[in-house]
Amino acid sequence: EVQLLESGGGLAQPGGSLRLSCAASGFTFSTYAMSWVRQAPGKGLEWVSFISGSGGNTYYVDSVKGRFTISRDNSKNTLYLQMNSLRAEDTAVYFCARDSSVSYPDYWGQGTLVTVSS
């Protein structure tokens, strides 16, 4: 059974940092691209970042470029999102998601809440 379990969310001050993790199981992690998608409270979905299975290709939404870094450790079956210079508008539930073989997120974690506030 495919499982994705996010952790690392919590309260951060503006300008602060957090690192999110997503532990994957039930599939061959290294062969799947992964994404982070966020959802601000009461709002819609926003795709944040993507990483290929090897980690060699990454993409970001413009609003997080230069502040967030996506990475993965295929030996640990874990996806990461390093978030620096956090802003109030980064407050959201962050989901990790597996890209299916046809490149659409087919499995999602339950999300971890990040709150940026002083």
Partner 1 sequence: EIVLTQSPATLSLSPGERATLSCRASQSVSSSLGWYQQKPGQAPRLLIYAASNRATGIPARFSGSGSGTDFTLTISSLEPEDFAVYYCQQRSLWPRTFGRGTKVEIK
Task: Report which of 107, 29, 101 is spatially closest to residue 72, judged by C-alpha positions.
Answer: 29
According to the binding rule CB under 8 A, does residue 111 interact with partner 1? Answer: yes
Q: Which class for 103: exposed (0-12), middle (13-18), buried (19 or more C-beta within 10 A)?
A: exposed
Please name the residues in contact with 100: beta carbons below 8 A apart, sequence gap of 6 or more: 106
According to the binding rule CB under 8 A, does residue 8 interact with partner 1? Answer: no
- From residue 32 to residue 51, the character string flagging contacts with partner 1 as x (rule: CB under 8 A) and all else as - is ---x-x------xxxx--x-
According to the binding rule CB under 8 A, does residue 5 interact with partner 1? Answer: no
Which residues form the interface with partner 1 (CB under 8 A)?
A: 35, 37, 44-47, 50, 59-62, 95, 97, 100, 102-106, 108-111
